[in-house]
């Protein structure tokens, strides 16, 4: 087994918004691998939500031709998902700092409650 570094990008290298409704094939995707309760509190507009443990069973929801930005709360789960996706042929990168960094940078958030927040 090799321990190759996981490709990662800082928040400022990630598109601010993703529109899954009008996305063309091969367009960049933001994959949020947090749990349902975390997702409901606050998320990036246009993100695709697939909890980490469900990713292998839901690969058909991801575009194999897209660059996939993978995000979680702070980066642990997203690193594991990036490794998995890259091993099976996807082009995936970890979003360093996760949704905590997303919120701290002032990026847009949406949520199911009156005020979207990550922490």
Tokens of 8: 């990662």
Q: 92: domain CATH number?
A: 3.40.250.10
Can you give the residue range of the structural domain that contains 79? Answer: 8-14+25-104
C-alpha distances out from residue 84 to 9, 46, 56, 94, 104, Å: 17, 22, 9, 12, 28
Q: Kindly tell me if the per-residue pLDDT of 1 is higher than 50.
A: no
Give the pLDDT band (50/70/90) at residue 116.
confident
To the query of whether residue 104 is one of the catalytic residues in this protein, the response is no
pLDDT in tens, 30-49: 999 999 999 999 999 999 99
Q: Kindly tell me if the per-residue pLDDT of 50 is higher than 60.
A: yes
Number of domains composing the chain: 1
Catalytic residue selected from 52, 72, 85, 95: 72
Q: Report the pLDDT value the prediction gives residue 77, as an integer from 0 to 100.
A: 96
Residue 119 covered by a domain: no
pLDDT in tens, 63-84: 999 999 999 999 899 999 999 9
Which string of b and e fits 29-56 if b means at least 16 CB within 10 Å? bbbbbbeeebbebbbbebbbbbbbeebe
């Amino acid at each position: 087994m090799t321990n190759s570094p996981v490709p990662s990008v800082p928040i400022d290298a990630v598109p601010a918004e993703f529109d899954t409704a009008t996305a063309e094939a091969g367009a960049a995707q933001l994959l949020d691998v947090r749990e349902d309760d975390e997702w409901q509190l606050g998320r990036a507009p246009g993100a695709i939500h697939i909890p980490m443990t469900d990713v292998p069973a839901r690969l058909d929801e991801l575009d194999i031709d897209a660059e996939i930005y993978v995000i979680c709360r702070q980066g642990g789960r997203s690193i594991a998902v990036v490794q998995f996706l890259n091993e099976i042929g996807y082009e995936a990168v970890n979003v360093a700092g996760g949704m905590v960094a997303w919120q701290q940078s002032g990026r847009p958030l949406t949520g199911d409650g009156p005020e979207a927040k990550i922490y």
